[in-house]
Amino acid sequence: MRLLPVVVTVFLTVSVAYYVYIPLPDSIQEQWKLMMLDAVIRAMMHLSHWMDPLASEHYITSIRQSVEGFQSMVNGMASSEPDRGGAPGVKVSDITFAGIPVRLYEPPAGGEGHLRRGLMFFHGGGWAFGSVKETSYDKVNRMVSDELNAVVVSVEYRLYPEVHFPVPYLDCLTAAKHFLSEEVLSRYAIDPDRVAVSGDSAGGNLAAAVSQEIAMDDTLSVKFSVQALIYPAVQALDFNTPSYLQNEHMPIVYRSLAIRLWLQYLGVDLSLVPQFITNNHSSLQHTHIDPELRARLDWTVLLHPKYKKNYKAVIVEKGSQGAVKEVPEMLDVRSSPLLAGPEVLAKCPRAYVLTCEHDVLRDDGMMYARRLQDAGVTVTNHHYEDGFHGCFSFITWPLDFDVGRRATRDYIDWLKNNL
């Protein structure tokens, strides 16, 4: 009988190791830390899915509660970190802009000059997760406010499952127009020629889409002067780009999860996930997707050969019937800013686009950078060969990664020099 505890212990140890371990590229640093983080996230998602039939609330809500609990635990572990909050002199207020909740960061008095810079930030999270109050976003926005003498506005837009497209976009657009109004700029002493919009992942999608709308709105006297996009999701027509295939099983966002988040945002029946995985939803039989539109996301032309590797374009002759008619949101530039015409992109402000090698969204960001450049926009593309999706958010101990700290520093330095 003494052997039984040993057998059980070994079995549990092997099972946990099997669940935690995933093969990672050699270029990824701090591999075990990433594996452990990914295992925790997967466990929370799996548990929420298993509990979903028994729960009275949506599984997304359950995951949010688990994430909040995990975040609280991490905050407690990091409580002794000297620079945990970053820039303690920054004044932080939770207010509303035209009815939209925002977190406002004001730099300490006595910054450079009289007028200050301004930045509007949209957090990531697949349009279903995330908050302005998350430690990582809060820390970065405090740093930006302090180092750039900038007024930063982080928008708490509404999320799935409470809402879906176009509500998050409209929340962000409403807050942006309010921020750019002469009254607000004057109230916070912001230079109207030095206002930026930024966001990561889903927030990068929102930042790009809002930037386009603001650039085309002739009724606005003040527009964004720069846009800073961190691994943005900018299209939902091709889920077989080289980066989607290369990083299909790469943390933190797997290919299947990315597609699921897109479908949730667009209000699509999740039973159609297999159709989207195989690009059946964008087959040649869909006359709504004409050759000119397809050219706007043709990675075989827009990507550098280094990133195309040996992958081939997946173009389906005949796919799911009526997918585009059922989901017209796929072709809406407010959800897929990569589909905007060159005349729109030409009016957009100069851009910073951060991309990561080990990220399903790598090619989205690179294609958008290329199309902006082709339209005459000045673009800086910082690419991290050791980067993975979400690394920008991991800068606070114990969830800090060297690539995250470098990405954050490069982002802030670019804003210093270009805003």
Q: Is 198 a catalytic residue?
A: no
Which amino acid type is present at position 104?
Answer: L
Pick the catalytic residue: 138, 359, 364, 386?
359
End-to-end alpha-carbon separation of the chain, Å? 70
Pick the catalytic residue: 131, 363, 389, 393?
389
**CA quadruple 45, 50, 55, 58: dihedral positive or negative?**
positive
Phi then psi for residue 353, to 5 deg, are -125, 120
Q: Is 201 a catalytic residue?
A: yes
Q: Is 389 a catalytic residue?
A: yes
Beta strands in 156-202 (DSSP E): 190-200
Beta strands in 168-304 (DSSP E): 190-200, 226-230
State which H helix or E strand residue 28 sits in: none
Which amino acid type is present at position 366?
Answer: M
Which amino acid type is present at position 121?
Answer: F
At 188, list the tokens. 């916070």
d(CA 384, CA 311): 21
Question: Which DSSP letter does residue 125 get?
Answer: S
CA torsion angle for 179, 181, 182, 185 (degrees, to 10)? 0
Cα–Cα distance list, 39 to 29, 319, 355, 357 (Å): 17, 35, 24, 21
Pick the catalytic residue: 62, 131, 201, 282?
201
d(CA 65, CA 45): 11
d(CA 136, CA 230): 14
Which residue in this structure is represented by tokens 């930026």?
A: 196
What is the CB-side half-sphere exposure of residue 7 using CA atoms within 13 A?
4
Active-site positions read 201, 359, 389
